[in-house]
Structure 1
């Protein structure tokens, strides 16, 4: 099929484009900068999603849409209405234009549409959504709007934190720390967190596009089992061919130090529990190619695997 992919120039988008092309689909990549066009994709120039976009020309001859463009966690300085315009309004404008024209519409939402940065139990889609910031609220509002559009087979995927070649943010920072030839203070951090390989996320997108029956609604996407932060860093070290060298610094001491440095939010994301179950998507037939997070880390970081 021919797929219109938005957000194709980002970390996730470039992986999605490569995966879809490898599966034999044609990818029309909607990007703002022609230099950011993923290899093998056709160019579709778009403007700022905070302003109205004429989607009709980009949808000509398109069989499906994968909408990954939007504002992620860009810090507290952005106004709430910007998240709403880009993550909600632009999504719904594209979906309205695509309704009745395309067979499938896949929206890359986020686990933050369902929860804050931590959870007291393993999240499932049966939990009432309770986003805690403008980013999560904008994603949830987009999901709700998609469900109300007649003639649209819409799937919203809620990935947890994504890792893989080219990742930035917290996972990228952890990978850089793991490369250091020095002990790291994560040995006592055993609180479980769910993460997802970008390969598994790409497979979930492909499943939503290719399944015999449309997977309507919202679905959590995560590696099969959660992993503690200490075990995650140990897996990174192992993939790099190094011993773990994790010091069991008490969590209270680490938390106090980071709060003193005004890094309390980062500490909460590192130390707090956040697990989410992908069982509903698996029950429909999605098979994650990466069966465990340590396996995914090896595919990412092992020498000779792929560039990090």
Structure 2
């Protein structure tokens, strides 16, 4: 296995870089980092240039056995402006197809695609969970682009014989996390009063370490080929529970105001932020039983330990 060459795209990103470090640590596979700019991986493994938006810049694929495709135009909240779908398609669909076709032509055996739970949809109803084999129901431009990329990859697999594996993660958190999760930690540490003390939803999350472990398994597991898998920590939390447990990891006392969720939803709608209210108050649960049954995989770290590691890295960075 040590001779297996694994190209990781988006290797300067949150997930891609963590996967490369995991492969370097384990010394089972040989990682090749495909990056768009400078990287701290230089000198640790082979680094090659790759830009999803540049038709002329594809990574060298000769000798590569497996591609783990983490690079993407990422989702940002409220990205519903005119032309958003075409911008996502240019990177997430067209760029992915170019890479996959080049990989197949070069003899790559397996292509692992980091997709998104948004392919399943935006929310789940009480008592309902998303499953890997549900009919896709994406609603926003990002989710639509990921679904189109998945469909294109499956067609390429049928045409060329290259194995395709699709992973759909929900919100990923862990050391170095950014965006809304980072903002949440800042609010909690500053003691900001948050009107989120009475939210009784259920949301699946996945720790970076758990997602990376699953990707590592999918590099070589024979049952991964041709399948779509969902991933989570195996424990769903309400927004209120997440805030309380994140505060505990940070060593602070949360200031949570018990405002009914219907009040929050109404207020958010009045200021044009119904999408934000949905993420804070709505449910999104995933069923990982297929992942467990087919791959013999289970989460390697629990929620509280993952939150502690996230908090430790955040606070260490604040002190430097």
What TM-score, normalized by structure 1, do the two folds share? 0.91
Map Cα deviations across residues 122-146 of structure 1 (whole Å, 9 max, x no partner).
1102321111022111111111121
Provide the residue aligned with 1:105 in structure 2.
Answer: 111
Any gaps of 5 or more consecutive residues in structure 1? none
Quickly say closer, same or farther: Cα 1:164–1:307, change in 2 above 3 A: farther
Residues 286-301 of structure 1 correspond to what in structure 2 (within 5 A)?
A: 286-291=297-302, 293-301=303-311
Alignment counterpart, residue 250 of structure 1, candidates 260, 270, 274: 260
Q: Contact (CA 8 Å) 2:80, 2:140: kept in 1 or not? A: no
Q: Contact (CA 8 Å) 1:95, 1:146: kept in 2 or not? A: yes
Provide the residue aligned with 2:151 in structure 1.
Answer: 144
1:123 aligns with 2:123: no
Residues 223-302 of structure 1 correspond to what in structure 2 (within 5 A)?
A: 223-284=233-294, 285-291=296-302, 293-302=303-312
Q: Contact (CA 8 Å) 1:6, 1:29: kept in 2 or not? A: yes
Q: Contact (CA 8 Å) 2:49, 2:57: kept in 1 or not? A: no
Provide the residue aligned with 1:177 in structure 2.
Answer: 187
Alignment counterpart, residue 82 of structure 1, candidates 82, 87, 93: 87
| 1:214 CA drift (Å) | 3.6
Map Cα deviations across residues 24-50 of structure 1 (whole Å, 9 max, x no partner).
1322211121x2353523221123x23
| 1:216 CA drift (Å) | 1.9
Provide the residue aligned with 1:67 in structure 2.
Answer: 69
Quickly say closer, same or farther: Cα 1:16–1:250, change in 2 above 3 A: same
Aligned equivalents of 2:317, 2:310: Cα separation in 1 = 8
What TM-score, normalized by structure 2, do the two folds share? 0.87
Aligned equivalents of 1:257, 1:41: Cα separation in 2 = 50
1:158 aligns with 2:168: yes
Aligned equivalents of 1:38, 1:227: Cα separation in 2 = 34
Q: How many residues align?
A: 303
Q: Contact (CA 8 Å) 1:165, 1:307: kept in 2 or not? A: no
Q: Secondary structure of the residue that 2:194 maps to in structure 1?
A: coil
- Tell which deviates more after alignment, 246-255 or 223-232: 246-255
Provide the residue aligned with 2:53 in structure 1.
Answer: 50
Aligned equivalents of 1:136, 1:46: Cα separation in 2 = 23
Alignment counterpart, residue 7 of structure 1, candidates 3, 6, 10: 10
Quickly say closer, same or farther: Cα 1:189–1:304, change in 2 above 3 A: closer
1:93 aligns with 2:113: no
Q: Contact (CA 8 Å) 2:175, 2:314: kept in 1 or not? A: no
